[in-house]
Structure 1
Amino acid sequence: MKKKRRKRKSAWAVFFKPIKVIFSIFLILMILGLGAGGIVYLKFGDEISACKERADQIVAQSKREDFSQPSDTRIYDSAGQVIGIINTGHYEYVPITEISENLQNAYIAQEDKRFYKHHGVDFIGLARAGVALVKNKGEITQGGSTITQQVIKNTYLTQEKSFIRKITEIFAAPQMEEKYSKADILEFYCNTNFYANRCYGVAKASLYYFNKEAKDLTVWEAATLAGISNNPSRYNPVTHPEAALEKRNKIIDNMQKNGMLTEAECEEAKAQPLTVAKVTEEGTKETYQSSYAVHCAAQELMKNDGFEFEYTFADETAYNDYKERYQEAYQEKSDLIRNGGFEIHTSLDSTLQTQLQAGIDETLAKFTDVSDNGKYALQGAAVCIDNRTGYVVAISGGRGTDDEYNRGFLSRRQPGSTIKPLIDYAPAFETGYYYPSRIVNDHLFDKGPKNSGNKYYGEVSVREALNRSLNTVAWQVLADIGVDYGTSYLDKMHFVGLSYLDNWNTSMSIGGFTEGARVVDMARGYSVLANGGMYSNNTCITGIDSQYEGDLYQENQPEERIFTEDTAYMVTDVLKGTLNQPYGTGYGLGLSIPAAGKTGTTNSSKDTWFCGYTKYYTTAVWVGYDTPKAMPGVYGKTYAGKIWYDFMKQCNEGLPAEDWVMPSTVAYYNVDSRGEKTSLETGKQDLFSSVAEQNARSNSKKWDEEQKMKEENARAAAEQASRDAAAQGQEQAAAGLTALIGELNGLTYRDEATQEMISQGQSMLDLLAGTEQYDALKQQFDEAADRAEALPYEEQSIPPSQEIGPGITHEARPGEAPSSTEDVTSGQAPVVQPGAAPGGFEAVGPGGQ
């Protein structure tokens, strides 16, 4: 049988055979891949769709600001000088033009060799990662991520190695490269990487490790940073120098393999020792200025969110509810600021700050005792406000600069008598029923307060009562106008720390608060008086610039009317007397320009204050122990007053002696003995407000009651004056009668004058009827009169009048002989007409004036 001849294969057949095999395998793999993909999609389709939606959302909402970290929060004074830095790592964002090409090349050589060729996803790199995945039985050991994917991961996703995160990166990366350029993405990458040792971003890392800017990095320095960011904990050159050096050299080799370095440059870079500078920049220590600035900035951000601040509360529930809401909102904003990314511009004047701090430190320097916490036991705090702007310009929270506790706005202390103008007298002037000349009876009464030194002055004017700081008068005034009415003005002036327990607390009239008042609030309250009754919502913040959101400060916040201009002027006029009246509690603290103020001293002098102002500045000063302690002999005028005086003298130096302008609705009127307006010329005048009087008249019922009370008071005063005059007449009659009894007992003879003396004595005795002295003096007088009448008679030495014509008499002249033999005794008692007191005064009986 004949064998079949094999067909000879052509050269082309030989050539295409392997191609057919490869193509067949490819088709099989593609079919298998599509099948597997279909199975995967059916099983994980929802998750994949979610990844796609998430990726779309990321890119759509992406903005350049997302690729930076918050910088340090910096605080500036009014001159633009940095007065505080809150260290958040000293992060600084730098553009790609300020980043060394050596670092850019190191990252590309190490992390993404085809960075400039792919469109966000390197499929070759993914294949390499897939092979590693199979080799490691499903465990992800390398990512295959591009720099673009890593930027997405660092900024928007977690560091977890998961398929979901990887798929989201793959979907987002191409879109990201459509939105941003390659240079942008490399810039984002360098600024978002973490380089260990609190170094976020290449700028901070370059400074910390090599003490240079990012644009000046050498090859070996760039390779070191690229190695650190690959795995900060493993390649930290401070803690793992050997591993960091090995990683650095591998990156340098990769740079040479990718044509970025010559062999000589590669060897030179690897030959450099790995040294790090470890340059650190600490944040500034928190000062009285910076702590207050952060506090005010946090509250400004709360305002931006619409937080409604409250200051008085109906009950405990309302108080606790507000406190919880406030603390949560405040902490959020405070943390936000302290986490960085803000520039806070303030009105704080560093020159005035230095003067205020020196005043406290120098005045209290002799008190060297320290507490267990190492701080000075005796402390002081002060706040100064520029009345022309309403901004706080200086705040001292204690002695020295080492104590970070700012008593200027954190501490609440009993304000003592400094609260009287704000809660008692100014609100009372608003009613129209009180004014500087109004008379109030200063006396000790049941369950009422005592005056300092236990001195009481009876009926005094409101003006004098405030200058003398009489507690009983202040108590009566607040009780009359109502505690709720008085505290409503503290609410309007945003006093922090008022308790619901103070709603009926009459001791608030003299500074007896449940929780106390802050120094900054006292300064703000007095600045209202200095500014014609207007409250400024300015704190110390003039600007808040966010790294991400721009300017956040709402400027030109409207002022609030608290007191009428009339009330503010009249209270200010009264408070001038504290400084310039001899009985004023702050006498001697007057300045060379018009000023007003008030002292404050609590029980046992545990808290001492002075609050005062000029047209230009208002300053409140507190001195006391952190843990309240008695300070015998210390008053508001002493240390707090001296601090106020010394500082105000400095900050007002060279300013015109400008006084407050009297409103057209305020005028001087004559006042009578009851302090009421009168058309009579009394020689005494005081201020009255037509606005306040109209306010009073608008409440006709109250006005009628007030007028009736004044009439009753006037009638009672007249009766009391009559009684006082009668008592005075009786005292003088008793003294005259006693003298006359002595003269009668001293006589050795009697004459016509003797009988007149007895008649005068009887008249004086009649004035004493009903008094305790009557019986004793009557017995003495009767005995003396009986004795005198029993004496022998002697003729007068002075001749009687001679009748020289009908109805005409002639009085004897000196040297003229008497026409009769009757002698005139010398030394006779003065003639007192019946009903008249000795000495020529007129006796006043009941009902007399």
Structure 2
Amino acid sequence: MLRIVMSFFGAIFSWIVTGLFFLALTIGAVFWMYSRDLPSHEQLAQYTPKTISRIYSGEGKLIDEFAEERRIFVPIADIPDLVKQAFISAEDKNFYHHHGFDPRGMIGALVQAVQSRGENVRGASTITQQVMKNFLLSSDRSIERKVKELILANRLEQSLSKDQILELYLNEIFLGQNSFGVAAAAQTYFNKSLSELSPHEAAMLASMPQAPGRYHPVRAKQRVTERRNYVLHEMWQNGYITEATYKSEAELPLRSVQNGDFPAFQQQLPPRDYFTDEIRRQLSREFGSDEFFSGGLAIRATVEPDLQKLAARSLQRALERYDRGRGVWRGTKQVIPADDLATEEKWRAALSAAPVPRDIQGWYPAVVLSLGANNAEIGIEGEEGTAEIPAKDVQWARKRLDDGRLGPRARVASDLLSVGDVVLVRQMTSDDDGSFIRWTLRQVPEIEGGFMAMDVNNGRVIAMQGGFSYQSSVFNRATQAQRQPGSSFKPFVYAAALDSGFNPATIVVDEPITLNTPQGLWTPKNSSGKFYGPTTMRTGIEQSRNLMTVRIAQDIGMETVATYAEKFGVYDQLTPFLANALGAQETTLFKMVAAYAMFANGGERVEPTLVDRVQDRMGRTIYRHDRRECINCDQANLPAGAAPAIASNRERVMDAVTAYQLTSMMEGVVKRGSGRGVNLSVPVAGKTGTTNDAKDVWFIGFTSNIVAGCYLGYDQPRTLGEDAFGGTLCVPVFNEFMREVVKEYGGAAFKVPPGGHFVNVDRFTGAILGPNAKGPNVIAEYFRDGQDLSGLGIVDGGFARVDPATLPMFTQPSDRGQAVTTSTGKKRVIPKKADFGTLSSGGLY
């Protein structure tokens, strides 16, 4: 009997052993089969996560950040133990004891699933397995993926330490709200650094990996609170916190940025503007979009934040002043439905969601709540209670009717506004003491424009505004808008002429021209519609004479002008048509301002930059703009009063004497010509520009160290009106900005280069005067040494030649009144007055 029993149990044991053997063999075969062609886990040792690229001002203040995945990488040594303990308690309490997978945890999860009949299925993946899934595998639920995960987890445990694996996990894990890694999540949910987190906050972060899409701190507040308290309980059970700490922390309410308990980190950054967005555009092109958005770059911008605000305000005031002068009301086109106006809570929620710009200093979104006989009641975002828009605040405007015509001028608020309209308002204050007067309606102008300022010596762009409001339109009109520069291009024609043997006193004929072009006859005109006969080059640029500029371009050749324009970077390729001498070909404000800087610095190439330096995630400098050498910076002690000596290795793009002559002539533009509205306490040179039909107006000006430029125009070009000129619309922007800049940067007389000498000249006739000559028309012109001051003749561009034998050069005042014979055989007398209005060079075609 005993033998039979032993035989029975022996057979059962043999079957079990055999079964286990075949089971092990099967499992081994499965693992062997799936272990082939697995991704290499060794790459994780060189893990470089996608991290935020940040932009800092010159003072080191964070002003913007860009990221595909909002992640801040933190080494494991800098992550507080409290945060590590919270995640280990929530996700893998045996993390420091297993070898990549946790059999006990897997069995526990299986038992829990069976007991709940599948209703409560929790994951049994260890932190190591989650790292493998996140980095190397997909997230699909399959046996194949699970087997591969176990194999790779075991391999990873043999390659990296526990802390290295935990570092990968805590920096990579997605925690909701576009936050990857614990540091970014702490900022997103609490606006705190990791070291500032309390136990219940660390526990809330550790709750998120289970279901970051469903665990929203507002929509699923109760669920998140329960999960947070579970994590706190596990931290107590694992010995990381005391029972008293667990109980006190679990009783605390769930607090977060999303619930309004903390200010959002992004709210502490200034609103994104045209400057930082242009950095994004340029560096994405330079380093690649992937590297910019995920490379963790530290970017030191050239922007001066206070001046950037000033640039925005100066341009905004000019645009709004012009738009308000048109007297047409457009509003925001946004309307809040009547149902959402029923309670204050509803209209405030609807107003906060309204897509209107909020980056205009002093402007606030508001909604019209009711209309009275004269006034309108409004609710203002961020302001308690309600306010009124009185009737007198709308009487400047008219609405456009459905048929496109303008309606009558508004008399009361209801003539412009309807209940539910979203509007923009600002406070009107007293000029005397700044006291509040009333709220007043505002609107984003139709007209747009750009403004830019930079250092003429190193190319650092200190301010750039690409439009009225970045949140209203992200299109950067300083760098992206291709516009006709008009007369602001003329200095490049004059620069080419001065290098070709002309001088500021050279006489150029200002007479009608008609050219036969493939498009038909072209008859350029001066803006005044008049012509003035022979005139000095200085007067030509001061008064912005079109006919003189065309003749100069014809004389020296448009190919020469094109070479200069391309050398200065105004164009990549300028088509050599005479019309382009008047700025007909389009370019950008960015290129024009940079080119004018080369006039100001004496003719040396300067490359504009928005970035001083770029460092990679390891702190290594991978880009530096200023590559000039400091000669004596290695000296321990410089002599008293001595400054570091910087060796300039910049390319010279124009002769220094030419640069000074041109700068002196453009000083005349500001003192006596089209730019005479400029009013600064330091020497200024510049040039206005107004295109055909005043579709664009420009002014670019510079001191000895700062150049700034402005243009205004509609995005879809159309006339700005008969009274629109660069001197009336853009000069005020330049003035407002530069008055503050001069306080910080100062300004001096423009440096006179060697190689020339001053000669007194009659600025109207070009006559050479004696050294003691005085009078309102006498000006000291800078002539190049060795240049012949006689026999240059009158320049007419070759359209009709003046016989040099019969037309002497104006070298003395006594030459006035002499009779001459023109190339057409007509007798003319050089007038005694300075305007030469009666001298004609004949029929020019």
TM-score range, shorter chain: 0.5 to 0.7
Please state how far the C-alpha of 1:269 moved relative to its aligned partner: 6.7
Counterpart of 2:51, as a letter, is: P
Q: Tell me the residue number matched to 2:575.
A: 503
**Residue deviations 1:682-728 (CA, integer Å, cap 9, x gap):** 989854446999xxxxxxxxxxx999999974125269934599968
Change (3 A) 1:657 1:115: closer
Matched, 1:200 2:180: yes
Counterpart CA distance in 2 for 1:656 and 1:107 is: 57
Aligned length: 662
Counterpart of 2:276, as a letter, is: A
Aligned pairs for 1:95-110 (under 5 A) are: 96=76, 101=81, 104-110=84-90
**Aligned partner of 1:579 among 670, 674, 684:** 670
Output the TM-score relative to the length of structure 1: 0.66
Give the 3-state SS of the residue equivalent to 1:562 in structure 2: coil
Give the 3-state SS of the residue equivalent to 2:36 in structure 1: helix
Q: Tell me the residue number matched to 2:278.
A: 295
Please state how far the C-alpha of 1:444 moved relative to its aligned partner: 0.6
Matched, 1:637 2:727: yes
Counterpart of 2:757, as a letter, is: A
Counterpart CA distance in 2 for 1:297 and 1:106 is: 37
**Residue deviations 1:626-661 (CA, integer Å, cap 9, x gap):** 443232223222232233234334422487763333
Q: Is the 8 A contact 2:455 2:707 kept in 1?
A: yes
Q: Is the 8 A contact 2:215 2:224 kept in 1?
A: yes
Please state how far the C-alpha of 1:525 moved relative to its aligned partner: 1.3
Counterpart of 2:131, as a letter, is: V
Change (3 A) 1:220 1:388: closer
Q: Tell me the residue number matched to 2:807.
A: 717
Please state how far the C-alpha of 1:459 moved relative to its aligned partner: 1.8
Matched, 1:377 2:446: yes
Change (3 A) 1:609 1:122: same
Please state how far the C-alpha of 1:541 moved relative to its aligned partner: 0.7
Counterpart CA distance in 1 for 2:269 and 2:448 is: 18
Change (3 A) 1:578 1:200: same
**Aligned partner of 2:303 among 348, 360, 377:** 348
Q: Which moves more between the two structures, 82-91 or 450-459?
A: 82-91
Please state how far the C-alpha of 1:567 moved relative to its aligned partner: 2.0
Q: Which has the higher strand share?
A: 2
Counterpart CA distance in 2 for 1:212 and 1:464 is: 64
Q: Is the 8 A contact 1:301 1:552 kept in 2?
A: no
Give the 3-state SS of the residue equivalent to 2:594 in structure 1: helix
Q: Which has the higher helix share?
A: 1
Counterpart CA distance in 1 for 2:190 and 2:180 is: 15
**Residue deviations 1:160-217 (CA, integer Å, cap 9, x gap):** 2345544443343344334443233334323332233334333444455567654566
Q: Tell me the residue number matched to 1:445.
A: 513
Counterpart of 2:687, as a letter, is: K
Counterpart of 1:494, as a letter, is: G
Q: Tell me the residue number matched to 2:46.
A: 63
Counterpart CA distance in 2 for 1:255 and 1:726 is: 107
Change (3 A) 1:425 1:233: same
Change (3 A) 1:493 1:289: farther
Counterpart CA distance in 2 for 1:84 and 1:246 is: 36
Change (3 A) 1:125 1:665: same
**Residue deviations 1:343-378 (CA, integer Å, cap 9, x gap):** 332221233334444444555664425657641234
Change (3 A) 1:572 1:116: same
Matched, 1:240 2:220: yes
Counterpart of 1:454, as a letter, is: G
Aligned pairs for 1:73-472 (under 5 A) are: 73-86=53-66, 91-94=71-74, 96=76, 101=81, 104-122=84-102, 144-206=124-186, 214-215=194-195, 222-241=202-221, 243-244=223-224, 247-248=227-228, 278=258, 279=262, 281=264, 283=266, 290-300=273-283, 302-303=285-286, 333=289, 337=292, 341-362=296-317, 366-367=321-322, 368=324, 369=327, 374-399=443-468, 403-405=472-474, 406-422=476-492, 424-430=493-499, 432-446=500-514, 447-472=522-547
Give the 3-state SS of the residue equivalent to 2:804 in structure 1: helix
Counterpart CA distance in 2 for 1:517 and 1:38 is: 70
Counterpart CA distance in 2 for 1:165 and 1:560 is: 61
Q: Which moves more between the two structures, 480-489 or 609-618?
A: 480-489
Counterpart CA distance in 1 for 2:545 and 2:141 is: 76
**Aligned partner of 1:613 among 696, 699, 702:** 702
Change (3 A) 1:707 1:111: closer
Change (3 A) 1:525 1:259: closer
Change (3 A) 1:456 1:231: same
Matched, 1:562 2:562: no
**Aligned partner of 1:660 among 746, 750, 768:** 750
Q: Is the 8 A contact 1:193 1:200 kept in 2?
A: yes
Counterpart CA distance in 1 for 2:193 and 2:720 is: 58
Q: Is the 8 A contact 1:59 1:172 kept in 2?
A: no
Matched, 1:521 2:591: yes
Q: Tell me the residue number matched to 2:737.
A: 647
Counterpart of 1:345, as a letter, is: R
Q: Is the 8 A contact 1:566 1:691 kept in 2?
A: no
Q: Which moves more between the two structures, 611-620 or 554-563?
A: 554-563
Please state how far the C-alpha of 1:289 moved relative to its aligned partner: 7.9
Counterpart CA distance in 2 for 1:655 and 1:220 is: 52
Counterpart CA distance in 2 for 1:212 and 1:670 is: 70
Change (3 A) 1:420 1:220: closer
Give the 3-state SS of the residue equivalent to 1:455 in structure 2: coil
Aligned pairs for 1:17-36 (under 5 A) are: 24=14, 27-29=17-19, 31-33=21-23, 35-36=25-26
Counterpart of 1:437, as a letter, is: A
Change (3 A) 1:723 1:196: closer
Please state how far the C-alpha of 1:680 moved relative to its aligned partner: 11
Counterpart CA distance in 1 for 2:54 and 2:206 is: 30
Q: Which moves more between the two structures, 349-358 or 679-688?
A: 679-688
Please state how far the C-alpha of 1:681 moved relative to its aligned partner: 10
**Residue deviations 1:1-49 (CA, integer Å, cap 9, x gap):** xxxxx8999xxx99x997x7787456424541465357658xx84x632
Give the 3-state SS of the residue equivalent to 2:454 in structure 1: strand
Counterpart CA distance in 2 for 1:678 and 1:275 is: 83
Counterpart CA distance in 1 for 2:100 and 2:77 is: 22
Q: Which moves more between the two structures, 144-153 or 661-670?
A: 661-670
Counterpart CA distance in 2 for 1:594 and 1:209 is: 53
Counterpart CA distance in 1 for 2:212 and 2:606 is: 51
Counterpart CA distance in 2 for 1:244 and 1:707 is: 82
Larger Rg, first or second structure (1 or 2): 1
Q: Is the 8 A contact 1:65 1:548 kept in 2?
A: no
Counterpart CA distance in 1 for 2:235 and 2:94 is: 13
Q: Is the 8 A contact 2:55 2:298 kept in 1?
A: yes
